[in-house]
Amino acid sequence: MKQIILHTFTKAEVEALDFKRFDALFGHWPQLWNHELRDKFDSLVFMVDGYNDRTEEIYCIPEVRRFYRELHRRWPWWTFFLCNENASMAVAYLCLIDEVGTYKRDTNPMCAASFDPRLILEILHHDFGRMNYLWSIARMSDEANDQRSDDILKLFKGGVSHE
């Protein structure tokens, strides 16, 4: 059975760009081999706590965007490790692009993001190289790699919707 690990960043960590706790827990993951690395694939969910009183979407909050950008710079292995529970991967990637908007219809509880998909594709192009590197170390199949890549690309086709 697949294990999901929820990692919540605190508001204090976000505002201070403090990665000590994250690094201690997950910094070594890209150095794992074979089955240990395979076990971590698609298992990590990022969450941010402390912004529930804000009206804008989490990926529109400047300090959260800054935090995710620095996290991605320091630990660019998302496409291998992140699971997309509760749109976690999509939200993380939306923080990396310069322009993202949101819209909501009055009768629908879902919110959608609007963005230029070319910006996400450019980032994913680089991240897929990192994912492929880990994929080969984990000795996972090319077919599964292709499926993972397709699944990630589908996240950003036509925008992202979430509650």
Residues 36-94 pLDDT 10s: 999 999 999 999 999 999 988 888 899 999 999 999 999 999 999 999 777 889 889 99
- State the alpha helices, DSSP H only, in 2-141: 11-16, 20-26, 34-40, 62-74, 78-81, 88-94, 117-138
pLDDT at 105 over 70: no
State pTM to two decimals: 0.88
- b/e per residue 74-101 (b: at least 16 CB within 10 A): ebbbbbbbbbbeebbbbbbbbbbbeebe
Rounded alpha-carbon distances, angstroms, from residue 115 to 58, 60, 93? 15, 12, 11
Please tell me which residue, 69 or 158, carries the higher pLDDT value: 69
Write down the mean pLDDT value for the chain: 88
Task: Check: CB of residue 40 under 8 Å from CB of residue 81.
Answer: yes
Into how many domains does the chain fold?
A: 1
User: What is the average pLDDT across 119-142?
Assistant: 94
Return the pLDDT at 84. Answer: 79
Output the pLDDT for position 72: 97
Least confident of 9-13, 23-27, 93-97: 93-97
pLDDT band at 98 (very low <50, low <70, confident <90, very high): confident
Do residues 39 and 3 make contact, with C-beta atoms less than 8 angstroms apart?
yes
* Residue 79 near residue 124, CB atoms below 8 Å: yes
Determine the structural domain holding residue 74 and report its residue range. Answer: 5-162
SS3 63: helix
Q: Kindly list the distances between the CA atom of residue 32 and the CA atoms of 3, 43, 82, 103, in Å, as whole numbers in the listed order.
A: 17, 14, 16, 41
Beta bridge partner(s), residue 45: 6
| pLDDT exceeds 50 at position 162 | no
